[in-house]
Amino acid sequence: MMSTYTIDTSTSRANPSPTPMKRLTVPKLREMKGREPIVMLTAYTMRMAQLLDPHCDILLVGDSLGQVIYGLPTTVPVTMEMMCAHGAAVVRGSWHSVVAVDMPFGSYEANPQQAFESAARILKETGAAAVKLEGGEAMAETIAFLTARGIPVIGHVGLTPQAVNMLGGYRARGRDEAESDKILADARAVSEAGCFLLVLEGVMEEIAAEATRAVACPTIGIGASASCDGQVLVTEDMMGLFERTPRFVKRYDDLAGRVTAAAAAYADEVRNRGFPGEEQIYRSKK
């Protein structure tokens, strides 16, 4: 969905570039299973969406923004207001990728009707194409309720960060037979309920591979298996903006180092009066 905002491109940084690219759709993504890997990254701001959009099939406005943007200890405190504000910004900055928004903790678990009202609000206020929610068999009824009413849903099983208090931490799941069987049952349940994509997070490689074979929808791995139908990472982790990154993250850059170096160079020039220079000063033409 293109932004409906009228933007003065001569004065505003927020000017999505015109492009002949056509936005992907939910049915197109579902059809990609077994054909070509699906590329997903997180995005929380308009500018990051602009930079990532040409390279991705899906931009996920993850509730990980609670930690990445707001410095919260977990995703549990994230609110609907946060998700809607950042979701709208990402939609305005993109034109190609499907944009999906996480449903925050407490906005969908009570019953399917609560989930529908929350999901409808997200889609209306952001212009996104889909929502994502966590949980397996317990959420199958809710997923079926949403999809029957025209709301595309991405499922999420395995390590589910919103349940960190119940899980006791962020360790990988599926280390024993009972846990493995539960993950597979959860994957099948949400796929059969109608989700068009399924995120498998923090699960043993063989479980992710088996789940991918067992479900009809594409799977998206994060700390899972290369045999998943696609992959997702938190962009700030992948770009090296934090000192600590999880084991499953590959750093593709050291943006923290670059930002630090740029800020240090700026500070030095300000203190030695090297900035602003002639090129940055307005002078009278008299």
Does 32 fall in a domain?
A: yes
Lowest pLDDT segment from 152-161, 189-198, 232-241: 152-161
By C-alpha distance, which of 129, 93, 130, 100 is closest to 19? Answer: 93
Lowest pLDDT segment from 7-16, 36-45, 162-171: 7-16
Of how many residues is the chain composed?
286
pTM, full prediction: 0.90
Does 284 fall in a domain?
A: no
201 is an active site residue: yes
| Residues that constitute the known binding site | 63-64, 102, 132, 134
Pairing of strands 153-158, 130-132: parallel
Does 276 fall in a domain?
A: no
Mean pLDDT, the chain, integer: 91
Residue 163 has pLDDT above 90, yes or no: no
Helix crossing, 205-214 with 177-193: angle to 10°?
Answer: 30
Sign of the alpha-carbon dihedral angle for 12, 18, 19, 21: positive
Residue 269 has pLDDT above 50, yes or no: yes
Does 14 fall in a domain?
A: no
Residue 206 structural domain? 26-253
> The domain that contains 243 carries what CATH number?
3.20.20.60
Does 222 fall in a domain?
A: yes
Question: Which position among 31, 125, 201, 278 bears the catalytic label?
Answer: 201
> Quick one: average pLDDT of 111-132?
98
**Segment 213-224, tens digit of pLDDT:** 999 999 999 999
Residues 246, 223: contact at Cβ < 8 Å?
A: yes
Does 62 fall in a domain?
A: yes
**In DSSP terms, which residues pair with 220 in a beta bridge?**
199, 230
* Bigger pLDDT: 176 vs 29: 29
* Bigger pLDDT: 166 vs 72: 72
| Residues that constitute the known binding site for 3-methyl-2-oxobutanoate | 63-64, 102, 132
* Bigger pLDDT: 285 vs 2: 285
Does 52 fall in a domain?
A: yes
- Which two tokens mark 167? 């899980």
| Residues that constitute the known binding site for Mg(2+) | 63, 102, 134
Rounded alpha-carbon distances, angstroms, from residue 22 to 97, 112, 167, 224: 9, 33, 41, 30
Structural domain count of the chain: 1
Number of other CB atoms surrounding residue 22 within 10 Å: 9
> Quick one: average pLDDT of 146-150?
98
